[in-house]
Amino acid sequence: MDRLDAMAVLLAVVENGSLSAASRALHSPLPTVSRKISELEAHLGVHLVTRTSRKILLTEAGESYIGAAREILGRVEEAERRASGEYVAPRGDLTITAPIVFGRLHVLPLVTDFLKAFPDINIRLAMSDRSVSLADEQIDMALRISQLAESNLIATRLGAIRTTVYAHPDYLKRHPRPLHPRDLANHDCIAFQGVLSPKFWTFRDGGQDISTTIRTRLSVNTAEAAVDAAASGLGLTRVMSYQARNAVETGLLVPLLEDFEQEPSPVHLVHLSQGLMPLKLRTFLDFAAPRLRAVLR
C-alpha cells in the first residue's frame, strides 16, 4: 500500500464529502477509492470514516489522522516544489481565474506581458463569472469583485468598482430621464441575470438600501449582451462600471442615478493560505497588483 497515496485519497474524500465525489475529483474508479480507504483503515487497525447513505463522517480517530495527513502531504508538496526549483526561480505552471469581461479587458493583457517577461512560467487563464473554489478546482490565484466570504484566503486589495445604471442618449430623448430609483417602474430595463436580479435592483437612498421593482423587457446572462442591448437603445441596464466603460467613452451609453449607487464592490487578488508562497505566484502577484490598481483608479 502506498500510504501517501492513501492519505491523499482520504483527504479527497473528506474535502469532497463522499466517495463518489472524491472519485470524480481524482478521476479514479469508485471501487479503487473505496479499496484504498479500506486498506488504510486495515493498516492502522481503526475505522477512519463512517459511511452513511448520503455522506462520509470522520470518526474520532479519523479527525486526528486527517490533520496529520494534511500536514504530511503539505510538507511533501513543499519539498517537491523546492526540489523542482519553484522557490529558487520563477518557473512552473499557474492557474488564474477572473470574471469574463474584466478578465478579457484587463487580466489577459497583463498576463501576456507577464509571460513575455517570464518565459519559464506557463499560465492557464480561466474566465468565469461564477465564484469558483480555489481548493476544489486547483486555482492558484483569483480576481474577485465582491465582498470576501472565505476565511482561508489571503487577499490583496486592488481597488473598488461601481455598479451603475446606463442608457443610450436616443433612449433618453424618447423617455424622461429617471431622477430617482422609483422612476424605473416606467422604463424598459435589460437585466443581467445571474449576477443581478431580473426583477428588482437595489440602491442606496438616505443611508438605507432600497429595492426597486423593474420592468424587464430583456434578460441576458452576460454583461456584454446587456451593454450591447442598452447601447442599441432598447432600454436601461445596470452593470459594473468597467463593463460599460468602452460604450460610455464612445458615447453609446450615459450613466444614470449615480447619487443612488450602492457602495462600490471591492476588488482583490486572492490565493489560498499556505506556508511558503511559490516564487512563481509571488512574482505574478508583484507584477499584476500595481498594474490592476492603476486600472481601477
Q: What is the pLDDT of residues 241-290, one digit of tens each?
A: 988 989 999 999 999 999 999 999 999 999 987 666 788 999 999 999 99
* 214 and 274 belong to one structural domain: no
- Please tell me whether residues 102 and 76 are part of one structural domain: no
Burial of 37 (0-12, 13-18, 19+ CB in 10 A): buried
Residues 101 and 40 in one domain: no
- The number of CA neighbours under 13 Å toward the Cβ of 102 is 22
76 and 212 co-located in one domain: no
User: For residues 244 and 251, what is the distance between their CA atoms, to the nearest angstrom?
Assistant: 11
Q: Are 283 and 118 in contact (CB under 8 A)?
A: yes
Residue ending a domain, choose from 34, 57, 84: 84
Average confidence score pLDDT of the chain: 87
Q: In this structure, are 154 and 269 located in the same domain? A: yes
> Are residues 111 and 49 both part of a single domain?
no
> Locate cell 472519485: which residue?
23
Backbone angles phi and psi of 156, in degrees to 5: -115, 115
Cα dist. 265→145, 249, 254, 262 in Å?
6, 22, 20, 9
Q: Domain check: are 182 and 118 in the same one?
A: no
Q: Residue 41: which CATH number?
A: 1.10.10.10
Q: How far apart are CA 112 and CA 120, in angstroms?
A: 13
> Tens-of-pLDDT digits for all 297 residues of the chain?
788 888 888 888 888 888 888 888 888 888 888 888 888 888 888 888 887 656 778 888 888 888 888 888 777 776 766 666 555 678 889 999 999 889 998 999 999 999 999 999 999 999 988 888 887 788 999 999 988 776 678 899 999 999 999 999 999 999 999 999 999 999 999 998 765 667 889 999 988 999 999 999 999 988 899 999 999 999 999 998 988 989 999 999 999 999 999 999 999 999 987 666 788 999 999 999 999 999 887
Same domain, 153 and 226: no
- Does residue 22 share a domain with residue 70? yes
CA gap 134, 119 in Å, rounded: 25
Q: Per-residue pLDDT tens for 32-66? A: 888 888 888 888 888 888 876 567 788 888 888 88
Query: In this structure, are 189 and 234 located in the same domain?
Result: yes
Q: Which three cell numbers mark 200?
A: 428588482
30 shares its domain with 108: no
Label residue 213 left, alpha or beta by phi (over 0 means left) and psi (-120 to 50 means alpha).
Answer: beta
Domain extent, residue 7, equals 3-84
Same domain, 200 and 230: yes
Question: Given 84, 100, 120, which residue is the final one in a domain?
Answer: 84
- The CATH number assigned to the domain holding 270 equals 3.40.190.10
H, E, C per residue of the chain = CCHHHHHHHHHHHHHHCCHHHHHHHHCCCHHHHHHHHHHHHHHHCCCCEEECCCCEEECHHHHHHHHHHHHHHHHHHHHHHHHHCCCCCCCEEEEEEECHHHHHHHHHHHHHHHHHHCCCEEEEEEECCCCCCCCCCCCCEEEEECCCCCCCEEEEEEEEECEEEEECHHHHHHCCCCCCHHHHHHCEEEEEECCECCCEEEEEECCEEEEEECEEEEEECCHHHHHHHHHCCCCEEEEEHHHHHHHHHCCCCEEECHHHCCCCEEEEEEEECCCCCCHHHHHHHHHHHHHHHHHCC
Q: In total, how many domains does the chain have?
A: 3
- Given 68, 84, 100, which residue is the final one in a domain? 84
- Using a cut of 0.75, tell me whether the model's pTM lies above it: no
